[in-house]
Structure 1
């Protein structure tokens, strides 16, 4: 066994693995994550209707022929407001059904690697499986490079200096609340931009931060876009965020 093999380890029967696959470039996977993608009995991943699944795309170079896969297709994503009753009912039912399906595999003694974009415990669907399954089955969470870390690195944008306080905000917040929270932060990352881009831009401008704000779309991926927020249109990509670097102590 090579040093890399020993570091990556093996998969244990009947265990659920939440595998953080990083921001989009497969080269940013940890050794443990890459090893598990190749070692688990079943690779499971979430995907939007009509999409191959972003997390699955990231690990595609590591998948071996014949590996069992389970595609978990969301009934809705950003086409329905996340705070609507319709969204919550559909997604809640989907998570319950998904947990039941994964539990069946685990009871069969299968090791299951559930892929998670970025880090599994950071705005990820994996958390909803962890909440439902961790009391009954062994679960290992494999941390990953967050999307925001990948994005500010690709944008060549140091995000916090000295005593800067960083705020991570979902773009789904109301416009006034975004403005209030941005005014309190030294530096900020706004996630879940997508169809909220116009609102996010207005909030950033109202908070007086537009000149520092950078829009990053599909950071670290082949079709990456990086530009000042002031030059953006009104609709962003699903995998996009806005970065506002701090201006703290520089020695």
Structure 2
């Protein structure tokens, strides 16, 4: 049986393909992720791996899906942005059907780390989401804002602000929201969330300083993104 190590994702190292399955080390939130994957499979959402079980060394077994992730430094094209936005909307709609015991007062289950690195792409289309280790009950705009920031590279070294305004419009159209204060608040909240996570996990000072710089830059260009 063919075995090979897989790239992509940023959370879980040691992911291995075995035949038509993928074996992944289980994280501390594996029970929640497994419940999510079972739900997605049960409602017919095909844009995520199916959970098949756990192997004899304690790794989760999921289905291998066609496609490949792209690095976070890539500049997505218009069609890729639209495709990813539509897939994200489909995922949120599917996850929103989880029980009230899971969701509480939240709208859905957010992916939590959505970028080109956690999407499988096939012929320029976003076909599946992977690596749900950061998934948690939350609001739809949390993922939309995070993807707008990280996936569209809404940073000083990314595309020009005037082009980013157009790219944001494509993302919003594909998902079904508007480019308004709520979306821009969600983008800034994504930076704040990652900064808080970095502080909690004692990231290096220079990494936290870079995040602070990105937050300031977003505040400066915000009026030009409408």
TM-score (norm 2): 0.26
* Higher share of residues assigned strand: 1
TM-score (norm 1): 0.24
Larger relative contact order (CA 8 Å, sep ≥ 6): 1
Which protein has the larger Cα radius of gyration, Structure 1 or Structure 2? 1
* Higher share of residues assigned helix: 2
